[in-house]
Copies of this chain bind each other. A is one copy, B any other.
């Protein structure tokens, strides 16, 4: 409380724009007010408006074209894999103002398959939990995630946790087990049966499938997951060579 809750003007301008988008008054492809218009509206200068815009460009919210204007970018149907940090894509989307809901499809326990024993380094007799959730971003079904969780951890998950938080956050905040490493694999496949139904796509529609294991600091596998993404979803990534040494 020692600090005043001062909000920089350029942040207030960003919030104004994000609100306009969230409220639907600005949609994909629409032109935003110009720099002079916003400068006048907020009683400031173009430089400040430009700064507000610049960050939103970096976050992929808007695109700008000289001589033309500033436009709302396509909706955030993407999950950046920022290889410099292990963050769940929920966090990354939340940074951009998206609203994420979960719809729990199944949460129960069973005996692990040999594949699951291998992936999670389980003892044979240890039961595991299965958690199937639909991830809904800003009202749209985006993906179906299937998780296999060791009994030890699964027993401690409450209904509230699994309805509201990403697995990353549950592991970190509730269990004190931050995810330090993700090993995964991405491939294409077709939606069939239950998966097609739950994603609300036609059977035979293409889906992006991501298999992964979340690992803790000591390289212990924490959770195995399989996520199915609709065709209109994409995963963004950046790979960069180290500049140092050499």
Q: Which residues of A contact B (CB under 8 A)?
A: 18, 21-22, 24, 27-28, 54-55, 58, 60, 75-79, 81, 83-86, 178-190, 204, 206-209, 217, 229, 231-246
Please give the distance in Å from A186's CB to the nearest CB on chain B: 5
How many chain copies? 2
A77-B240, A84-B83 known; A188 vs B217 contact (CB < 8 Å): no
CA distance A182 to B114 in the complex (A): 37
**Contact indicator B187/A83 (Cβ below 8 Å):** no
**Contact indicator A188/B188 (Cβ below 8 Å):** yes
Name which residue of chain B comes closest to A28, CB basis.
B244
**Contact indicator B83/A76 (Cβ below 8 Å):** yes
Task: Return chain B residues, CB-CB under 8 Å to A244.
Answer: 21-22, 24, 27-28, 75
Would you give 24 A-B contacts (Cβ < 8 Å), ordered by A? A18-B243, A55-B58, A77-B83, A77-B84, A81-B239, A83-B237, A86-B239, A181-B238, A181-B239, A182-B238, A182-B239, A184-B236, A184-B237, A184-B239, A185-B236, A186-B234, A186-B235, A187-B232, A187-B234, A188-B206, A188-B207, A188-B208, A188-B231, A190-B231
